[in-house]
Amino acid sequence: MNQENTKTLESPLSDFRNEPQTDFSLEVERSNFSNALKSVATHFPQDVSIIIDGREEMTSERIESLDPSDFRQIVASSAAATSDHVDKAVKAARKAYPEWRRTSPGERANIILRAAELMRERKHELSAIAVREAGKPWREADADVEEAIDFLEFYAREALRLGAPRRLQPWLLGEHNDLVYTPLGVVGVIGPWNFPVAIPTGMTTAALAAGNTVILKPAEQTPLVAWLVARIFHEAGLPDGVLNFLPGRGEVCGERLVRHPDVNMIVFTGSREVGLRIIRSAAETPEGQHFVKRVVTEMGGKNAIIVDSSADLDSAVPDILYSAFGFSGQKCSACSRLIVLEDLYKECLDRLREGAAALKIGRASEPSTQVGPVIDGEARDKILGYIELGRKEARTIHGGDVGGLASEGFFVAPHIFESNRGDHPLMREEIFGPVLTVIKAGNFSEALDIANDTPYALTGGVQSRTPSNLRRARQEFEVGNLYLNRTITGAIVGRQPFGGYRLSGIGSKAGGPDYLKQFMVSRVVSENMMRHGMASLVEGPPDNRED
Active-site residue set: 298, 332
368 binds another protein (CB under 8 A): yes
The whole-angstrom separation of Cα 500 and Cα 494 is 16
Number of Cβ within a 10 Å radius of residue 38: 10
367 binds another protein (CB under 8 A): yes
Q: Phi, psi at residue 460, to the nearest 5°?
A: -160, 160
The answer to whether the Cα torsion of 138, 141, 143, 146 is positive or negative is negative
351 binds another protein (CB under 8 A): yes
CA torsion angle 25 511 78 121 (round to 10)? 40
Stated as kind and residue range, the H or E segment containing 425 is helix 425-428
Q: Which of 10, 14, 251, 358 binds another protein (CB under 8 A)?
A: 358
20 binds another protein (CB under 8 A): yes
Closest distance to another protein from the beta carbon of 351 (Å): 7
Q: Which of 37, 296, 470, 479 binds another protein (CB under 8 A)?
A: 470
Helix, strand or coil, per DSSP, at residue 4: coil
471 binds another protein (CB under 8 A): yes
Q: Which of 315, 396, 420, 522 binds another protein (CB under 8 A)?
A: 315
370 binds another protein (CB under 8 A): yes
- Closer to another protein by CB, 154 or 181: give it: 154
Q: What character string, x for contact with another protein (CB under 8 A) and - otherwise, covers 388-427?
A: ----------------------------------------
The whole-angstrom separation of Cα 29 and Cα 18 is 19
Strand partners, 269: 298
- Closer to another protein by CB, 23 or 527: give it: 23
The whole-angstrom separation of Cα 219 and Cα 206 is 19
38 binds another protein (CB under 8 A): no
Q: Which of 354, 381, 539, 547 binds another protein (CB under 8 A)?
A: 354
139 binds another protein (CB under 8 A): yes
Q: Which of 18, 32, 104, 271 binds another protein (CB under 8 A)?
A: 18
Number of Cβ within a 10 Å radius of residue 176: 18
- Closer to another protein by CB, 16 or 71: give it: 16
Closest distance to another protein from the beta carbon of 314 (Å): 4
**What is the total residue count of the chain?**
547
Rg (C-alpha) for the chain, rounded Å, is 24
Question: Using CB under 8 A, which of the segments 164-172, 182-190, 224-232, 362-370 binds another protein?
Answer: 362-370
Q: Which of 1, 11, 24, 388 binds another protein (CB under 8 A)?
A: 24
Strand partners, 182: 521
H helices present in 210-292, as ranges: 223-235, 255-259, 272-282
The amino acid that residue 61 corresponds to is: E
- Closer to another protein by CB, 266 or 447: give it: 447
The whole-angstrom separation of Cα 438 and Cα 418 is 5
- Is residue 276 within 8 A of residue 299, CB to CB? The reply is yes
| Per-residue DSSP letter, 443 | S
- Closer to another protein by CB, 21 or 396: give it: 21
Binding site for another protein (CB under 8 A): 17-21, 23-27, 30, 138-139, 309-315, 317-318, 321, 343, 351, 354-355, 357-358, 360, 367-368, 370, 465-468, 470-471, 474, 484
